[in-house]
Amino acid sequence: MANRKQPNSPTQFPALDQLSSIEKPNSRTRLLDAALDLVRAKGYAATTVDDICHRAGVTKGSFFHHFKSKDDLALAAVAHWEAKTASLFAAAGYHQAQNPLDRLLGYVDFRAAILTGELPDYTCLLGTLVQETYATHPEIRSACERALSAHTAELTRDIEASKRLYAPTAPWSAESVGNFIQAVLQGSFILAKAKQGPEVVQENLEHLRRTLRVLFQPDSYSDPAKAVEFASRPAAPDSPVKKKDRQQPAFHPKPVEEPEAELEPEEEYDSRLSHFVD
Count Cβ neighbours within 10 Å for each residue of 248-272 and write b for 16 or more, e otherwise.
eebbeeeeeeeeeeeeeeeeeeeee
Sequence ranges of the domains in the chain: 75-246
pLDDT of residue 230: 55
Q: Percentage helix, strand, coil, to 5, in the chain?
A: 60, 0, 40
> In b/e form, how buried is each residue of 151-168, taking b as 16+ CB within 10 angstroms?
bbeebbebbbbbbeebbe
* Cα distance between residue 88 and residue 94, in whole Å: 12
Average of pLDDT values for 123-149?
Answer: 95
In whole angstroms, give the CA distance from residue 149 to residue 130: 13
**For all residues of the chain together, what is the average pLDDT?**
80
Q: What's the confidence (pLDDT) of residue 232?
A: 57
pLDDT for res 101: 95
Asked if residue 176 has pLDDT above 60, the reply is yes
pLDDT of residue 217: 84
pLDDT of amino acid 12: 43
The Cα diameter of the chain in Å comes to 110
Per-residue confidence at 231, pLDDT binned at 50, 70, 90? low
Q: Which residues contact 182 (CB under 8 A, 6 or more apart)?
A: 148, 151, 152
Instruction: Give the pLDDT confidence of 11-49 residue by residue, as tens digits.
Output: 444 444 444 444 467 999 999 999 999 999 999 999 999
**Side chain identity at residue 237, one-letter code:** P
pLDDT at 25: 74
**CA nearest to 202, candidates 242, 152, 237:** 242
3-class DSSP assignment, residue 277: strand
Superfamily holding 75-246:
Tetracycline Repressor, domain 2 (1.10.357.10)
Q: What does the pLDDT look like over 43-74, one tens digit per residue?
A: 999 999 999 999 999 999 999 999 999 999 99
Q: So what's the pLDDT on residue 22?
A: 42
Average pLDDT for residues 120-138, to the nearest whole number? 94
Distance CA 105, CA 111 (A): 10
Is the distance from CB of 30 to CB of 143 less than 8 angstroms? Answer: no
